[in-house]
Every structure is written in structure tokens, then in C-alpha cells.
């Protein structure tokens, strides 16, 4: 096993370090001269042009990738998108039609809840497309089409590199559908393609500049009993993913919230010393989201929270407000979740390691849950 880890302390450490490659490999062969080509979807142009709804189904980390994907799919294609946990979906008599595209997301392609949801949707006439990391797995075999994330084998139970690859695949799909439907101009597509192509290099930079600091921070926080995560818009699913990883790996109470929801409840949890990670939107994000999240930080800080901000390089507004600032490179706002999640993966791994836990095999969890 030591040899398979290639010198890394754990599979998870290896797989987090492979996040840049996972994105690059998912893009490989699918971008030609500034536009998207997905050979697996050849022959589906009419179908993808004719859909009037997209329903994303997944479990766990894959469902958070789906939630991120919703922002891009809906914004770029103008097709309404819902994201639902696969195990909730098929027990509520959902409405489906032949013009519904069901997109399932699964690293393993074997998660029973997701598989059953796909079968259910297909039997009721929906078209099914699977985003999967494992060649020839059951879910892609049960789907009308598959877009593979070529993240490479993922061994650690908690999903990391597959997550960034899933978001990448969803963005590729969104741009492909946007081109077919004419909902984005060729120039807009080219701009987004350029953003995607820049992600691997930016992820490598996060590893170079922030990894040691994050591990140090995790070490200092080794006896923390509860951590909250705040995000807004595309940062919201990332907040939930950061919390999930901490529960899974470090066995501590962690919760992710939408920053706008703070005043509707979670702010009551803030007491002096409570660590809160905040994923800060780009100052260029629409709807003054940056200013709104900064004011959320002011609110929690006034109540004694210990703020760890994940913010874009050069964003000075966070400096007087945060106890720690973790930096991510500049990107168009839609692409920030792919960069912002990596510090959270490193942090969860670091905290579990500081507690002496096995990050590859957390207690009570399985890599792939093949029972309902
Ligand atoms: C398990 C794993 C998670 C994973 C989820 C979905 O719970 O521990 O890391 O996100 O299953 O797995 P899938 O293979 O369908 O992506």
C-alpha cells in the first residue's frame, strides 16, 4: 500500500494533490479551438436542444457538485435546473417527462440510491445522462449517455479530486448545451472555456502557496469541537462540502450555511471563539454579493467568531475582519468554487491528521454505498 501511495502519507493527501490533474484530465480532448466537443454526446443534439428541465440527482459530495453545477447550467443554458438527493427523489412521486434531462453524478457509479433513482426516472420516460468517474460502472450502463470525469481512481473514502472533476464535467456540459441552444454567444463560450483551462494551474498555485499554512492552522485547531462554514451563491454548496468533510474525517460537529440565512437562525450559534470559515465571493460577483458577505462577517465577528476567510488574491476588504485569510487566485465568479473547495479539503485532512485519525478510512463510512 505504501508504494501505491507514491510516497504520500495517505491516499487522501495524494488525491488532494491530484485535484489540478483531475480537472485537466476531465477537460482533455473536450476543448477544440475555444469551444467544447464532447464526443460521448454526439447524436444527442436534438435531445439536448429540446429539453425543458434538468434534474440533477446524486448523494453526498456528488450532490454538492450538482448544486454548484446548477448555477452554471441554469445561468448558461436558461433551462430550469433542480438538484435533489437521489434517495429523496424517488419516494415523493416526482413529475417527469420525456423533455426532462436527468443528470446523475456518481464517482463510483455504484451508489445504490443514485442507481435506483436513475432507473426510476428512466422508466418514467426521462432522458438520463450520467457523470461518472469509473469506466463501465452500473449507473452509466443504466443511462442513455455518460460523460466520464477522468479523475483517475479515487481510493480514500472521502471524495476530493472526483468532486472538482464533477464540477468541471458539469460546466463542460453546460457550455455544450449553451452552444446548442444559442443561449451564450460564441465569445461568451470562449471566455468560459478559457476560465476552465486556467483552473488546473490555479489549483496548483493554491497547493504551493496555501497548503502549509492550512495544515498549520488545522494543527492549531486540533481540539476544536465545532466549525461553521458560510458561503453564498456558488460558495454555498462549497460551505456544505467543507462541513461534510470535517464531519467525515475529523468527527466534529460542522455545518455549512448560506450566508444570507445567518440572521434567520444560525447566528444564534455564534459565541466567542467559534471558528467560522467564510467563502468570500469575488468583488466582481453580481448583486453586490461581496459586500453582503463582508457584512455577514462583520455580524459574526461582532459576536466573537473566529473568522477564517477564503478570499481572492488582492481582496483587501477581508483583512481587517478575518483572523486568517486563505487566498485563491482570481477567476470569474462562476469558477471560484473549484478553487475555494481545495483549502477546505486540505483543512479537513489536516485536522483529522492532527487528531491522529485515519483520513483514508473514516469510521462507519464506505467509499461506495451499494445498499439502500
Ligand atoms: C459515500 C462516500 C462519499 C461520496 C458518496 C457518493 O458516502 O463516502 O464520499 O460522496 O458516497 O458516492 P458516489 O460514488 O455516488 O459519488
- State the pLDDT at residue 354: 95
- Quote the CA–CA distance of 66 and 82 in Å, as a whole number: 9
Complex ipTM: 0.94
Q: Is 307 a residue whose pLDDT tops 70?
A: yes
Q: Tens of pLDDT along 179-217?
A: 999 999 999 999 999 999 999 999 999 999 999 999 999
Mean pLDDT of 155-167: 96
- State the pLDDT at residue 5: 84
- Quote the CA–CA distance of 247 and 334 in Å, as a whole number: 26
Q: 248's torsion region: left (phi>0), alpha (psi -120 to 50) or beta?
A: alpha
Q: Which residues does ligand 1 sit against, CB inside 6 Å?
A: 59-62, 106-108, 111, 114, 157-159, 365, 367-369
- State the pLDDT at residue 172: 98
- Quote the CA–CA distance of 201 and 185 in Å, as a whole number: 26
- Which residues neighbour 144 within 8 Å (Cβ) at sequence distance 6 or greater? 122, 127, 128, 129
With cut-offs at 50, 70 and 90, classify the pLDDT of residue 35. Answer: confident
- Name which of 21-25, 127-131, 365-369 the model is least confident about: 365-369
Q: Whose CA is nearest to atom 5 of ligand 1?
A: 60
CB 289 within 8 A of CB 336: no
Pocket test for ligand 1, best of 114, 132, 368 (most atoms within 8 A of CB): 368
Q: Is 66 a residue whose pLDDT tops 90?
A: yes
Q: Is 2 a residue whose pLDDT tops 70?
A: no
What are the cell numbers at 83? 438538484
DSSP class of 282: P
CB 300 within 8 A of CB 276: yes
Q: Is 367 a residue of the active site?
A: yes
Average pLDDT, the chain: 96
Q: Tens of pLDDT along 107-123?
A: 999 999 999 999 999 99
Q: Burial-class residue 136 by CB neighbours within 10 Å (0-12, 13-18, 19+).
A: exposed
Q: Is 243 a residue whose pLDDT tops 70?
A: yes
User: What whole-number percentage of the chain has pLDDT above 70?
Assistant: 99
φ, ψ dihedrals at 162, nearest 5°: -65, -30
Pocket test for ligand 1, best of 107, 142, 154, 163 (most atoms within 8 A of CB): 107
Q: Tens of pLDDT along 84-103?
A: 999 999 999 999 999 999 99
- State the pLDDT at residue 6: 81
Mean pLDDT of 284-290: 94
Mean pLDDT of 47-58: 97
Distance in Å, CA 29 to ligand 1 centroid:
27
Q: Whose CA is nearest to atom 11 of ligand 1?
A: 368
Mean pLDDT of 297-320: 97
DSSP class of 130: E
| Long-range contacts at 2-11 (CB < 8 A, ≥ 24 apart) | 4/155, 9/353, 10/156, 10/349, 10/353, 10/358, 10/359, 10/360, 11/155, 11/156, 11/360
With cut-offs at 50, 70 and 90, classify the pLDDT of residue 4. Answer: confident
Give the position of cell 426510476.
120
Amino acid at each position: 500500500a505504501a508504494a501505491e501511495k507514491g510516497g504520500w502519507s495517505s491516499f487522501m493527501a495524494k488525491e488532494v494533490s491530484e485535484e489540478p490533474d483531475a480537472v485537466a484530465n476531465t477537460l482533455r480532448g473536450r476543448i477544440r479551438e475555444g469551444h467544447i466537443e464532447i464526443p460521448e454526446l454526439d447524436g444527442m443534439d436534438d435531445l439536448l436542444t429540446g429539453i425543458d428541465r434538468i434534474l440533477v440527482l446524486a448523494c453526498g459530495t456528488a450532490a454538492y457538485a450538482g448544486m454548484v453545477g446548477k448555477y452554471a447550467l441554469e445561468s448558461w443554458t436558461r433551462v430550469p435546473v433542480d438538484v435533489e438527493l437521489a434517495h429523496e427523489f424517488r419516494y415523493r412521486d416526482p413529475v417527469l417527462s420525456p423533455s426532462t434531462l436527468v443528470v446523475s453524478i456518481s464517482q463510483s457509479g455504484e451508489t445504490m440510491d443514485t442507481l435506483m433513482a436513475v432507473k426510476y426516472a428512466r422508466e418514467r420516460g426521462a432522458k438520463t445522462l450520467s457523470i461518472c468517474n469509473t469506466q463501465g460502472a452500473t449507473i452509466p450502463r443504466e443511462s442513455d449517455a455518460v460523460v466520464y470525469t477522468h479523475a483517475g481512481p479515487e481510493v480514500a473514502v472521502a471524495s476530493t479530486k472526483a468532486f472538482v472533476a464533477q464540477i468541471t464535467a458539469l460546466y463542460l456540459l453546460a457550455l455544450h448545451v449553451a452552444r446548442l441552444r444559442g443561449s451564450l454567444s460564441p465569445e461568451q463560450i470562449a471566455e468560459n472555456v478559457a476560465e476552465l483551462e486556467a483552473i488546473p494551474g490555479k489549483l496548483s498555485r493554491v497547493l504551493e502557496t496555501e497548503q502549509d499554512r492550512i495544515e498549520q492552522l488545522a494543527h492549531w485547531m486540533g481540539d476544536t469541537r465545532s466549525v461553521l462554514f458560510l458561503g453564498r451563491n456558488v460558495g454555498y454548496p462549497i460551505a456544505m462540502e467543507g462541513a461534510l468533510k470535517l464531519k467525515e474525517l475529523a468527527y466534529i460537529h460542522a455545518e455549512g450555511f448560506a450566508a444570507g440565512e445567518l440572521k434567520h437562525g444560525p447566528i444564534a450559534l455564534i459565541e466567542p471563539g467559534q471558528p467560522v470559515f467564510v467563502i468570500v465571493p469575488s468583488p466582481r460577483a453580481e448583486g453586490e454579493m461581496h459586500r453582503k458577505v463582508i457584512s455577514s462577517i462583520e455580524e459574526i465577528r461582532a459576536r466573537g467568531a473566529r473568522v477564517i476567510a477564503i478570499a481572492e488574491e488582492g481582496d483587501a476588504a477581508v483583512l481587517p475582519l478575518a483572523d486568517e485569510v486563505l487566498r485563491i487566485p482570481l477567476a470569474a465568479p462562476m469558477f471560484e468554487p473549484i478553487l475555494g473547495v481545495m483549502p477546505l479539503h486540505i483543512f479537513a485532512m489536516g485536522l483529522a491528521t492532527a487528531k491522529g485519525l485515519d483520513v483514508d478510512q473514516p469510521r462507519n463510512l464506505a467509499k461506495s454505498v451499494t445498499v439502500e
